[in-house]
Amino acid sequence: MYDVVIVGGGPAGSTAAKMLAERKRTVLLIDKAKFPREKPCGGGLTAKVLTEFPYVKNNDLIESYTYGGYVYAKDMGNRVEIKKDTPVMATVLRKTFDAGLVQLAVDQGCTLLEGKKVVDIMFSKDHVKTIVDTGECVESKVIIGSDGIWSITRKKAGLEPIKNQFAVSLFNEYKMDEQLIDQYFSSKRYGHLHLKMNGLSGYGWVFSKKNHINMGIGEMKPYHNTDHNRLKPTFQEYIKRLKEENIIPKELSADNVKGGALPTQPIPKTYADKMLLCGDAAGLINPITGEGIHYAMYSGRIAAKIIDAALRKKNTSNRFLSRYEHQWKHAFGKDIALFQQATKQWNKTDFKYFDLLKQDEQLKDMLLEIMMGNASAQEYKYKILKRILYVKVKKVT
């Protein structure tokens, strides 16, 4: 019997696996895919990931660094420029990044079962049985569900499903000659974000990496409120506009578009007897940007800590494991709640605040710090409101 079975080998699962294995726990990490594998994602890492998980930087998992870029409001002409001397974001290839994180867990003693899909999970008084599609059954004292938005772990534990509370994105990643990327995005790898592009409630993006560019659109409102038929034409129109503005080479095509779904809010409960949920399976994501790697890894780390304590005390009850939810809410739950409030205003407001960013460097830096994960939105909210008021008063005097 394993101490812990972890379903899903993304950043949340591999982080939990690594840290539990470091604590000499017997860990089985199961993933339906074989690594390396593709993952729908822009591949941006906030600075906070690098500071809180320095082994990411120390194991050559970073593809490149971005030193700023351009944020556009509705049309290509109305933009804010951000250029810094130090990186504002790291970029990764998820195929390489996820496989690297899994390997780090294996190096610490975690057992990997890849290419096997979990089809059933049964909870009993003393253990958890996990069954994969080839018929194999493994037993563990506790289980972690880091198996994404459609989590079978969440379903089998009887927790509330995500239902229609998820957003969708379309994207593609293109390999490109490094010198050509230098020509279009400079060696600083500047990015482009187009807010509410072509009527989206989300944004379009172009991230430049060492020798890849990642382009996509994200519709950040709940799926049931989305006109799904217009997403692909919107993506194609976006690519066309990018070419017209000479942001990307004209020979790039919008073919082979990939889709992805992401949660828009945390589920009401992320724990049960002998079970914790991490990352997308728990709905832990920034609802404004769609970024989830930081919350995934952070929740994986908290889960490892709580489960290690639970095993030490021989108490894997619902009540004991509730400490996990308390800790992730304390760490970043208030920020997620604030971002959720902001998305409601985002769908109502025009771009009057965008013009304030163009006028004030300090306000721009504050928002950048929050979006890049360097500062807490909860701690900065009053500073930002004061600064907005200051800029407005300054404008009329």
Domain boundaries, the chain: 2-43+94-162+265-344, 65-89+166-263, 350-396
Residue 226 pLDDT exceeds 60: no
CB 212 within 8 A of CB 93: yes
What architecture is the 2-43+94-162+265-344 domain classified under in CATH?
3-Layer(bba) Sandwich (3.50)
Take residue 396 and report the two structure tokens written for it: 């009329």
Looking at CATH, the fold of the domain delimited by 65-89+166-263 is given as: D-Amino Acid Oxidase; Chain A, domain 2 (3.30.9)
DSSP assignment of 333-360, as one string?
IHHHHHHHHHHHHHTT--SHHHHHHHH-
Residue 370 pLDDT exceeds 60: yes
Q: What is the pLDDT of residue 306?
A: 99
The mean per-residue pLDDT over the stretch 369-389 comes to: 75
Q: What is the pLDDT of residues 169-201, one digit of tens each?
A: 899 999 999 999 999 999 999 999 998 887 787
Measured at the alpha carbon of residue 266, what is the angle toward residues 228 and 290, in degrees to the nearest 5?
50
Residue 376 pLDDT exceeds 90: no
The mean per-residue pLDDT over the stretch 124-140 comes to: 97
Q: What is the pLDDT of residues 16-51, one digit of tens each?
A: 999 999 999 999 999 999 999 988 888 999 888 999
Q: In angstroms, rounded to a whole number, what is the distance separating the alpha carbons of residues 351 and 172?
A: 28
Residue 349 pLDDT exceeds 80: no
CB 317 within 8 A of CB 273: yes
What's the predicted TM-score (pTM) here?
0.92
pLDDT band at 256 (very low <50, low <70, confident <90, very high): confident
The mean per-residue pLDDT over the stretch 356-381 comes to: 76
- Greater pLDDT, 197 or 280: 280
Take residue 302 and report the two structure tokens written for it: 């908290």
